[in-house]
Amino acid sequence: MTILAVFRSRAHSLNYAERLQAYGVAAVTVPTPKEARIGCGLCVRFDSRAFVRAQAILKTGRYTSFKGFYKMEFINGKVSLMPYGKS
């Protein structure tokens, strides 16, 4: 399952992706799906198996623009986003 970390700041998105990678989490910065109707245009995508680590890394930073974690799935060829976990 794919998780998106959505921010209101491009700088925070890029920084968070770098920090995840530095801690061994395979993460990439991708355009925020329009279905999210939030954010700066960039979000960070990673696998749900790394969620606990990603959540811990988020808490150690000062990401005031963080909007939330979202589970991304494709249902009938369309993107579906649902809030995921607690931030």
Q: What is the mean pLDDT of each run of 10 residues along the chain (87 residues)?
A: 92 96 96 76 94 95 92 82 77
- Give me 72's structure tokens: 């991304």
Q: What's the CA gap between 18 and 54, in Å, rounded? A: 12
The H or E element that residue 20 is part of is helix 10-22
pLDDT for the residue 20:
97
Token readout for 25 is 């989490």
Query: In 28-77, where does DSSP find H-type helix?
Result: 51-60
| pTM of the predicted model over 0.85 | yes
List domains and CATH numbers for the chain.
2-83 (3.30.70)
Relative orientation angle of helices 51-60 and 10-22, to the nearest 10 degrees: 120
pLDDT value of residue 46: 97
* Cα–Cα dist 83/87, whole Å: 10
